[in-house]
Amino acid sequence: MSDKFTNVWTIAEAFEGKLKPVSFELLARGRSLADACGEQLVSVLIGAKVGDAELNSLISHGADLVISVQDPALEAFIVETYSNVLLDLVEQRKPNIILAAATNNGRTLMPHAAMRLHTGLTADCTDLQIDLATGDLLQTRPAIGGNILATIKTPNHRPQMATVRPRSTQPLPEDPSRVGKIEQVQLKPELLDKRVMRLSFKAEAADESNLQDSDVIVAGGRGMKKADNFVQLHDLARLLGGKVGASRDAVDRGWARYPQQIGLSGKTVLPKLYIAMGISGAIQHLAGMKTSETIVAVNTDPNAAIFQVADFGIVGDAFQVLPELISRLEERKS
């Protein structure tokens, strides 16, 4: 199957001329797949205003080739046009694997292109491996609210496509001695789809909206008792360089805002450190955070389900632990 189709592609994403960190995370994933297949790793950038230094950093983070299609007309993400550009490249060059970020744009472009390419797409993969017997991509993702992990293949269609959540991999260390090529590809005017217009863009105060980009999340639940007590969570988050999240119960009570909600009907997060204060650990909450690298939980109930997923649990009162922890961290800082 994979004879005609070779190389691993990653779709780089940029915002206002700067590559997003996820572009490098995808290269780390792609590098190990390309090495396992003995293929090249290609980073594809569709957009505008991304300079050579940025493109070179894709090479120093693992790419062998960078395909850059840049044009002022590509500044706004218009999925129809981006999908046309990607399809055109795919049809000419026939990649074996395409990885993209599970961002709102990546999660729009990939299914759009996969439908037209008549191939499979697996969303939000947590693990990607090559099946050495067949050369197929093994795509692992949580299924059914995080209760099981399913491994999925695209045996008879190419390219094999997958999205990966931001922050689920570390980028490779930068290696300035790596060599690679940058290929600038002209946008073909006929690929522009003019049906949809972006009228304006308003940057949003980053705060909780990019909870998912945060390495540290301090989350509170009903055990925090009232809105005022969330101040302590903000203090702790600030000391740890993190953000504040919440259970649905806390959001429903108005102690936190909906963009802060973590779980099945909120955000899925994968931080390095997740601290749960007064959260019971309902399955819907766990579905959004249980793959966090390290989980710390404080709860008065020794049988709280959150302790099942905790790496470090304290059975105790959050209002005793929080002030002590905050003052100890302040001491360490000074």
Ligand X SMILES: Cc1cc2nc3c(=O)[nH]c(=O)nc-3n(C[C@H](O)[C@H](O)[C@H](O)COP(=O)(O)OP(=O)(O)OC[C@H]3O[C@@H](n4cnc5c(N)ncnc54)[C@H](O)[C@@H]3O)c2cc1C
Contact footprint for ligand X (CB under 6 A)? 221-223, 247-250, 261-266, 278-280, 282, 284-285, 288, 298-301, 304, 317-319
The residue among 186 and 194 lying less far from other proteins, judged by its C-beta, is 194
The first and second tokens of residue 217, run together, are: 């999340």
In the complex, the smallest distance separating the C-beta of residue 263 from ligand X, rounded to whole angstroms, is 2
SS3 231: helix
Integer Cα distance of 57 and 27 in angstroms: 11
The Cα–Cα gap between 13 and 23 comes to 6
Q: How far is the CB of 276 from ligand X (least distance, A)?
A: 8
Q: Give residue for tokens 């300035």.
A: 176
Q: Judged by CB, which is closer to ligand X: 7, or 280?
A: 280
Q: Minimum CB separation from other proteins for residue 281, in Å?
A: 11
Q: Residue 113 touches which of ligand X, other proteins, none (CB < 5 to 8 A by kind)?
A: other proteins
Q: Which of 107, 178, 225, 234 binds other proteins (CB under 8 A)?
A: 107
Which string of x and - marks every residue 122-161 that binds other proteins (by CB under 8 A)? xxx-------------x---xxxxxxxxxxxxxxxx----
Q: Which residue's CB is nearer to other proteins, number 36 or number 152?
A: 152
> What does residue 22 show for φ and ψ, rounded to 5 degrees?
-60, -25
Output the six-digit token pair for 118: 């008549």
Answer left, alpha or beta for residue 297, where phi above 0 means left and psi between -120 and 50 means alpha: beta
Element (H, E) at 286: helix 283-289
CB of 263 to other proteins, least distance (A): 10
Burial class (CB in 10 A: 0-12, 13-18, 19+), 107: middle
- Closest distance to ligand X from the beta carbon of 292 (Å): 14
Q: Does 216 bind other proteins (CB under 8 A)?
A: yes
Residue 198, binding choice from other proteins, ligand X, none, Cβ under 5 to 8 Å by partner class = other proteins
Amino acid found at 123: A
User: What single-letter amino acid sits at 310?
Assistant: A
DSSP string for 74-113: GSS--HHHHHHHHHHHHHHH--SEEEEE-STTHHHHHHHH
Minimum Å distance from CB 332 to ligand X? 23
Q: Which stretch binds other proteins (CB under 8 A): 40-48, 52-60, 92-100, 199-207?
A: 199-207
Residues 272-331 that bind other proteins (CB under 8 A): 272-273, 283-284, 287, 290, 294-296, 302, 307-317, 320-321, 324-325, 328-329
Q: Considering the complex, what minimum distance in angstroms separates the CB of residue 129 from other proteins?
A: 12
Q: How far apart are CA 323 and CA 325, in angstroms?
A: 6
Choosing among ligand X, other proteins, none, which partner's interface includes residue 4 (Cβ < 5 to 8 Å by kind)?
none
Token readout for 242 is: 């993190």
Rg of the chain's alpha carbons, rounded to an integer? 22
